[in-house]
Amino acid sequence: MTLKTKTSGRLRRAFSLIELLSAMAVLAILGTLVVNVVGSVRQQAMTSRSMGSIRALVTANYACAADTGRFAKAENLADTVHWHGKQKSSNNWVGYGGYLTPYLGEDRKVSLCPVFEQILEEDEGNQFNKGTGGYGYNGIYLGNDPAATIAPSGSSGGGNTRPTRPVRTETAANRPSALIDPANTVMFTSAALVKEGGVVETYLSAPYHALSGTELGQRLTPTTHFRFNGKALVAWCDGHVTLEAPNDADTSQNAYGDDNGKYTVGWFGPTDNNGYWNPHYKLGTAY
C-alpha cells in the first residue's frame, strides 16, 4: 500500500515501509565500510609509526658503534643494565640509563609501539622489564660477542692449544665487522614475552637456541611478536625494515609454562643455526 500526503495543495508520494528498510540497510552497510576503512587507516598509521621507531634503533646502534667501536651491549654481567634501561629495584625497570639510550635523541628513551600499547591494555602480564618500547634486540649475537676468547692459563695461545671463552668481569658487544650479510641479519624485532597469563616487555629478540661459546645451546623461549595483522616488524642490520610472517617452528617452549601461540609469539625464517639472527648464517655454522 502506498501512502499519499497532501502538502500545499499537491499530492506527494511518501516512502513505503520496504523503501525505508532498504535505505536503512544501505546506511548500515556504508557505516560498516566507513568503520572498517577508518580502522584500517589507523592500523596502517600505527604500523608506520612503529616502523619509524624500530628503524631509529638501528641508526642509534650504529651511532654507538661509531662512538665505541662496538654495538650497544645487550646487558651487563649483573643483568641490572640493558640496552634500553636499567633496574632501579627488584622487578622495577626504567627506560633510561641503558647502553643505547645516549644515542636515542633528545628524549633518550625508546618510543612505545602504539600497537603493543593497545595489546597491553587487555592482555598485560606481570611486567618486569619496562622501557623497551615493545622491541627486542638481537642481544645474543650483536649485544654480545660470541667469539670473545682468551688463551687458557699457562698458554700464549700458540701451537695447537684451543682458545677458550674467558671468565669475564664484564660483557662485550659485537663489532659491525662481524656482519657478513647485513641485509639478512636481524638487529631488532617487535617483541613480547608471554608471562603469567599475558604479554610483557622483553629486551631480547630470542633466536631458537642460546649459544654455548660458538655452539648451539639450550632451546629458548620465543619472543618475536607477530602483532601487526599476524606479522612481526623486523629491522635488519642494513637499516631496512620489513613485516615478516611466522614460520611453522615449534613454539611450545616457555620458561613460565605459558601458551606462546595464544599471543602470536614465535619465530620467522629458517630454523637451522639460529637463522637470520646469526650474522654467520651463510657460513653454515652457529657462529
The domain locations on the chain are: 39-283
Contacts of 167 (CB under 8 A, 6+ apart): none
* pLDDT tier, 210 (very low <50, low <70, confident <90, very high otherwise): very high
Supply 133's cell numbers: 618500547
pTM, 2 dp: 0.80
Integer Cα distance of 223 and 200 in angstroms: 10
Tens digits of per-residue pLDDT, 172-201? 999 999 999 999 999 999 999 999 889 999
User: 132-162 burial, b for 16+ CB within 10 Å, e for fewer?
Assistant: bbbbbbbbbbbbbbbebeeeeeeeeeeeeee
pLDDT per residue as tens digits for the range 133-144: 999 999 999 999
Q: Which of 97, 62, 115 is nearest to 243 (CA)?
A: 115
pLDDT digits (tens, 9 = 90+) for 17-71: 777 777 777 777 776 766 665 566 777 889 999 999 999 999 999 999 999 999 9
